[in-house]
Amino acid sequence: MSLVGKKAPDFKAVAVVNGNEFVEDFDLARFRGKKVVFFFYPLDFTFVCPTEILAFQDKIAEFEKRNTVVVGCSIDSQFSHWAWLNTPKDKGGIQGVKYPLVADLDKTISMKYGVLAGRYKTDENGNTNFEGEPVALRGLFLIDEEGIVQHELINNLGLGRSVKEVLRMIDALTHLQKYGEVCPADWEEGQEALKPTFEGVSEYLSKK
């Protein structure tokens, strides 16, 4: 079930911030008043994941300009996060990443956000087993200043995301919030948006 339009699920967990600091009871509520890009990735020390994580870090100034915080999460422990964050890039690490990485070792956060690749199932004898892959899919949630999910995207494990598209969605949300105008297909900041009426749509399309 989609979380769009709903309050982002609450959680408290350990996170690694600034690449080397453990923060207990980390949550997203501390960022009220800012937009949050909360994204999940499958595992530390893998292949597609570092390309995404480093791409977010490379554009972190663009997110900050938009009053937006980036937070990552996987089912790894905080110790695994710390080790990966302190491994040089040429050794397969993500050294230099400063935004928070949340540890979801018990998979409860992934389940709350609906991105766990498998599920726990209890058989007729009361035994609980996990079916599928016990990792997070590539879920991404754009959460507004009030803690409401405004956009979500969930990719399968092998499909990397576009950081440029995430920035575009932040710009679109900001434009909607500021002007009340809705953003058409492939809209980018600086382009004309449209009034949410049939007349507004007709006027927009007549200019194309």
As annotated, the active-site residues are: 49
State how far the alpha carbon of 177 is from the alpha carbons of 146, 152, 168, 186, in Å.
12, 18, 14, 18
Q: CB–CB of 173/142 below 8 Å?
A: yes
163, HSE (Cβ side, Cα atoms, 13 Å) = 16
As a whole number of angstroms, the distance between CA 33 and CA 47 comes to 34
Residue 72, helix vs strand vs coil = strand
User: Of 85, 64, 59, 63, which Cα lies nearest the Cα of 74?
Assistant: 85
